[in-house]
Amino acid sequence: MKKRMVFAVAVLFVVGCAAYAHAEGEPQKPAGTIASQQFKPREVKMDRNHDGKVDHIEIYDEKGVIVKVENDTKGDGKINEWVTYENGIPVKGEKDINGSGKPNMTLFYDAKGQVTKSEADINGDGKVDEWVYYENGKPVRAEKDSKGDGKPDTWVTY
């Protein structure tokens, strides 16, 4: 008798849930998954190196398309890399390469999201003194200004 009651209650529960789900007039998706709820992220924070600190942040627009990524690439708890996206493709990146807390390297991307050029202030004087040019996402040549006059005086081909 007890088994019959448990079975009857279970059947009524399933039938009730099914009736409720179809009352909306739309097909129902499996419950319990983020995709089934059709939520779009606004911000995602991650601890990718598992040290207990957030080291990767993704920011999305209202349509769920990525617009910015921030990273702590040194593991020191400070964001030192910023990448801006348009239509889900990176268009500009900035890095703090000397630990100043401010970007001192800029990366430029093509329409496919591959780096085409970087400019950096290596010596920390506030002026760009290194330019690297890329093809297919790989460096092919670099120019350096070792005199601080804003003009390259060293050229490197890769």
Give mean pLDDT, residues 99-105.
92
Do residue 9 and residue 25 come from a single domain? yes
Do residue 33 and residue 66 come from a single domain? no
Q: What is the pLDDT of residues 104-118, one digit of tens each?
A: 999 999 999 999 999
What the block records as the tokens of 113 is: 């999201």
Percentage with pLDDT > 70 across the chain: 77
Do residue 34 and residue 61 come from a single domain? no
- Please calculate the CA angle 144-147-152 and round it to the nearest 5 degrees: 30
Identify the band that residue 101 occupies on the pLDDT scale cut at 50, 70 and 90.
confident
Please check whether residue 131 is in contact with residue 125, taking contact to mean a CB–CB distance below 8 angstroms. Answer: no
* Domain total in the chain: 2
154-157, strands of its sheet edge to edge: 43-46, 56-60, 66-71, 81-86, 89-95, 105-109, 115-120, 130-135, 138-144, 154-157
Domain range holding 24?
1-39
Reading phi first (left if > 0) and then psi (alpha if -120 to 50, else beta), residue 99 is in left
Give residues with Cβ within 8 angstroms of 106, minimum separation 6. 92, 93, 94, 118, 119, 120
Q: What is the pLDDT of residues 36-93, one digit of tens each?
A: 467 889 999 999 999 999 999 999 999 999 999 999 999 998 999 999 999 999 999 9
Do residue 34 and residue 44 come from a single domain? no
Spatial separation of the C-alpha atoms in residues 132 and 144, rounded to whole Å: 9
Q: What pLDDT score was predicted for residue 32?
A: 56
The pTM of this model reads 0.70
In this predicted structure, the answer to whether residue 17 has a pLDDT above a threshold of 60 is no
Do residue 44 and residue 76 come from a single domain? yes
Do residue 62 and residue 137 come from a single domain? yes
Do residue 77 and residue 97 come from a single domain? yes
Reading phi first (left if > 0) and then psi (alpha if -120 to 50, else beta), residue 50 is in left
Instruction: Count CB atoms within 10 A of the CB of residue 72.
Output: 20
Do residue 27 and residue 90 come from a single domain? no
Place of tokens 């400070």: 78
Q: What pLDDT score was predicted for residue 118?
A: 97
Q: Hey, what's the torsion of the CAs at 145, 150, 151, 153, to 10 degrees? A: -20
Give mean pLDDT, residues 1-20.
35
